[in-house]
Amino acid sequence: MAYESSGAPDYYNIDDLLTEEHILIRQSLREFVKREISPNIEQWTQDAHFPSEIVKKFGDVGAFGPTIPAEYGGGGLDYISYGIIMQEIERGDSGMRSTASVQGSLVMYPIYAYGSEEQRKKYLPKLASGEWLGCFGLTEPDHGSNPGGMTTNIKDMGDHYLLNGAKMWISNSPESQVAVVWAKNEEGRIKGLIVERGMEGFSTPEIHNKWSLRASCTGELVFDNVKVPKENLLPNIEGLRGPLGCLDSARYGIAWGAIGVAIDCYESARKYAMERIQFDKPIGAFQLTQKKLAEMLTEITKAQLLAWRLGTLKNEGKATTQQISMAKRNNVDMALHIAREARQIHGGMGITGDYPIMRHMMNLESVITYEGTHDIHLLITGADITGIPAFK
């Protein structure tokens, strides 16, 4: 079909809105995913194995901090390029996209946006190249949707800060060399610090027994009287505005990434529907199967338009937190519905690792919850409509 000439559904010719550079970036990442991720991802998932060698490969292909200026090792690209990169990686696997998303949006972005020039020069090139992996410490065991309630804290000891507390559900933490951590000072103001592996009292226990994001490493961050040098404080930000600004960037990437999952599930379902014979004809000939496929393609097309418009607004510096929330919530919810419908089309085969559907479905159960839950994003939109926050 003509609309799939780009290697993905493009029913409304959205490729016409992309630049030649965007198309080249997409092709490069697509080939990378087909070469480095797709042949191995089912086994990694079955084994709950995080392939640490992928970190350097992500660095080599420019997946870390693509919007960070080139002088710090980033790609100096626009936000639509960033979205396309996230889409292609998540077509491979949500856990793999999480690894890249955290590195670029939650570690490199705050160091670039809120850090000193010395911090940028020290950390960003190592993170961009994949020599170092980073993580982002905001969520706590007792504070998820309410990050302002955090109890992790710092005390000013004169020549250093003393950091105490714990963070939970932290992607990349067991393998990270550096963590961007948010903590309250004695006045109760939220500050950002860069904590490095090897600092005494800092540990990163791994979380096991996950049914979701099994090829991604997840852990805790535990701080027991960790001495953090004064120069590791992010100087240009204070309050919840800091971590929430990072989350805007990451949520934007998720809005694109979820489309990648939806495309992978749709394409697998369409192919299966044309090959699977029942009652002497392909199941794609039956009305109910066509209904499922038509609805999948419609929802993917709507999500593509939403993501493209949001990317344009991001490039113009106009995208609001509330607009990003809407896209993250809608597109992840869309992808989860498509994964479930695709599983139905695959019948019993849909639960096996011979097809990507069940893995995507399990992964999306994390994606719909992290970086703002499905319901919290709904209430962010609700508060924007009415002017009344329902979550306070």
User: Using an 8 Å Cβ cutoff, are 134 and 177 in contact?
Assistant: yes
Q: What is the CATH number of the domain that holds 139?
A: 2.40.110.10
Q: Are residues 249 and 315 in the same domain?
A: yes
Q: Are residues 73 and 96 in the same domain?
A: yes
Q: Alpha-carbon distance 191 to 243, whole Å?
A: 9
Three-state SS for 53?
A: coil
User: Is the residue at 358 inside a domain?
Assistant: yes
Q: What is the pLDDT of residue 392?
A: 77
Q: Alpha-carbon distance 390 to 392, whole Å?
A: 6
Q: What is the pLDDT of residue 391?
A: 81
Q: What is the CATH number of the domain that holds 368?
A: 1.20.140.10
User: Is the residue at 92 inside a domain?
Assistant: yes
Q: Alpha-carbon distance 44 to 206, whole Å?
A: 17
Among 220, 238, 256, residue at a domain's last position? 238
Q: Alpha-carbon distance 309 to 313, whole Å?
A: 6
The whole-angstrom distance between residue 75's C-alpha and the CA centroid of its chain comes to 18
Q: Quote the domain boundaries for residue 204.
A: 135-238
Q: What is the pLDDT of residue 2?
A: 41
User: Is the residue at 391 inside a domain?
Assistant: no
Q: Are residues 267 and 371 in the same domain?
A: yes
CB atoms within 10 A of CB 388: 8
Indicate the pTM of the whole model: 0.96
Report how many domains make up the chain.
Answer: 3
User: Is the residue at 63 inside a domain?
Assistant: yes
Q: Are residues 93 and 214 in the same domain?
A: no
User: Is the residue at 7 inside a domain?
Assistant: no
Q: What is the CATH number of the domain that holds 111?
A: 1.10.540.10
Residue from 63, 43, 59 nearest 51 by CA: 43
Q: Alpha-carbon distance 372 to 135, whole Å?
A: 17
The alpha-carbon radius of gyration of the chain (Å, integer) is 21
Q: Are residues 192 and 116 in the same domain?
A: no
Q: Are residues 249 and 380 in the same domain?
A: yes
User: Using an 8 Å Cβ cutoff, are 220 and 168 in contact?
Assistant: yes
Amino acid at 150: M
Question: Residue 42 phi/psi, 5° resolution?
Answer: -65, -40
Q: What is the pLDDT of residue 6?
A: 58
User: Is the residue at 392 inside a domain?
Assistant: no
Alpha carbons within 13 A on the beta-carbon side of 114? 28
Among 238, 273, 308, residue at a domain's last position? 238
Q: What is the pLDDT of residue 8?
A: 81
Q: Are residues 202 and 251 in the same domain?
A: no
Tell me which DSSP letter residue 212 carries: S
Q: Are residues 374 and 274 in the same domain?
A: yes
Q: Are residues 276 and 180 in the same domain?
A: no
User: Is the residue at 277 inside a domain?
Assistant: yes
Per-residue pLDDT of the chain (392 residues; tens, 9 = 90+): 445 545 689 999 999 999 999 999 999 999 999 999 999 999 999 999 999 999 999 999 999 999 999 999 999 999 999 999 999 999 999 999 999 999 999 999 999 999 999 999 999 999 999 999 999 999 999 999 999 999 999 999 999 999 999 999 999 999 999 999 999 999 999 999 999 999 999 999 999 999 999 999 999 999 999 999 999 999 999 999 999 999 999 999 999 999 999 999 999 999 999 999 999 999 999 999 999 999 999 999 999 999 999 999 999 999 999 999 999 999 999 999 999 999 999 999 999 999 999 999 999 999 999 999 999 999 999 999 999 999 87
User: Is the residue at 8 inside a domain?
Assistant: no
Q: Are residues 107 and 153 in the same domain?
A: no
Q: Alpha-carbon distance 363 to 172, whole Å?
A: 16
* E strand or H helix at 162: strand 160-171
State the catalytic residues: 371
Among 238, 262, 295, residue at a domain's last position? 238
Q: Are residues 186 and 126 in the same domain?
A: no
Q: Alpha-carbon distance 14 to 18, whole Å?
A: 7
Q: Are residues 254 and 366 in the same domain?
A: yes
